[in-house]
Structures are given as C-alpha cells and as structure tokens.
Structure 1
Amino acid sequence: MTPTFDGPAPLALTVLTTTDSRAKADALARGAVEARLAACAQVSGPVTSVYHWQRAIETAEEWQVVFKTTEAAYEALEAHLLAAHDYETPEVLATPVVRASAAYLAWLGREVAHP
C-alpha cells in the first residue's frame, strides 16, 4: 500500500554514504527503501577514497549510496544508516535539493513515510 501525501511539496534531500563492498552498499540501499526512509537509492562505484583516520592517511575502495528522501525523514534515515552501517564513523552527508520537478517531488512525498 502506498501512503498518500496531500501536503505541500516536501523539502527534498540527497543523502550520501559509502561502504567497503557492493553487497553492503546494496543492503544499505534496499533496507532504507524497504523501510520507506528513502524513495530511491542509487549505488555506484567503486570509488577511491583518501582520508585521515587515526593519525594516518588511508586509501580505500568504496561504493557510494545516494538516497533520495525528505527533510522530515532525515533523522530516521540517519538513525537507520548508523545502526545498519559497520563503519565506526560512517559518512552520512545530506544535501538539500534546490530545484526539482513538481512530479518528482510529489512522487517523493508519496513514497517516503512521514512521521
């Protein structure tokens, strides 16, 4: 059953995380979409990440997951990702969507559960 959404268009966000395997990225994507915390999740990679960790510069092959969600669902999505992720400090970055088509925003509002 698809929830209904009759309010104004939701503030859309893209939320990015990374993980160290395709299988883990797929699981994070599917879990968030199944929980209706994101309308869509896109997995891409591998990418090379270079970062500071525990006083050293590390290089790792990772997969990115970009979630399409709403501002109202962000906290629940973040909590879900932090609980499901196996990194000690996972990357969870939210970026507001400045412009989007009305039809896309309506779809997003219908597909993401709202508290």
Structure 2
Amino acid sequence: METEFLLVVTTCPDEASAKLIARQLVTAKLAACVQISSSMTSVYEWQGEVCEETEFGLHIKCLAQHFDAIQAAVLTLHPYDVPELIAVPVTLGLPAYFDWIKETTLS
C-alpha cells in the first residue's frame, strides 16, 4: 500500500529560521500545517565532536507526493549544511483531518 500522508520532521537552530521554513511550506501549499516546538536541547556528533545546541523542532503534515518539493525547499532555506529531514508514513488518523490536508495542499 502506498502511503498518501507523511509527517516530516526537521529542526532549526532558531525560531526565525523555523518560522521562515514553516511559512514557506504552507504558503506554497506543500504542507497543510507545520507545528514549531518550543526550544529543546539536541546532543549529537558532528565532524568528530559531540555538540550540544538549542533547536526548534518542526512537524510538517503533508501529502507524500510533496516530499521532494519539501526537501528542495528545506535544503534551500535551512542554515545547516546537512539538516535533519525524516519522513514518517501516516496510515491511520481522523478521516476529516486527512481530507483537510488534501484540501489545503496542491493536488
């Protein structure tokens, strides 16, 4: 079964870049909604060093068919060299919510 809906996750180093990406995706009708979390601490290894940074998480609700365009937009707008971009298939949910995603994004 092909997945029609995705929850795409990324993080940004500051609220301004998170809002920029969120607004661009919704304005372009690639995402129905982008939720921006409060700041959180991320601990990760990058270029041989353990780093600890404050980041803002984004949860992007979209149609699977828009993933490539979302990826291109994130890579263009994101300040990181290698941003997190993970897509999780959504197979169960409120049918009316899925209808709303379809209605508010590009067909």
2:8 aligned to 15, 18, 35, which one? 15
Q: CA deviation at 1:111?
A: 1.1
| Corresponding residue pairs, total | 105
Structure number with bigger Rg? 1
Structure 1 runs, 4 residues or longer, greater than 6 Å off: none
| Aligned-CA RMSD value | 1.1
Task: Read off the aligned partner of 2:44 and give its amino acid letter.
Answer: Y
Q: Are 2:98 and 1:113 aligned?
A: no
Q: Which residue of 2 aligns with 1:7?
A: none
TM-score, normalised to structure 2, is: 0.93
- Using the aligned pairs only, state the percent identity: 35
Instruction: Kindly state the Cα deviation for residue 101 of structure 1 after the two structures are TM-superposed.
Output: 1.3
2:17 to 24, 44, 47: 24
SS of match in other structure, 2:66: helix
Unaligned ranges ≥5, structure 1: 1-9
List gaps (5 residues or longer) in structure 2.
Answer: none
Superposition map of 1:13-92 within 5 A: 13-92=6-85
Instruction: Measure how far apart 1:98 and its partner are.
Output: 2.4
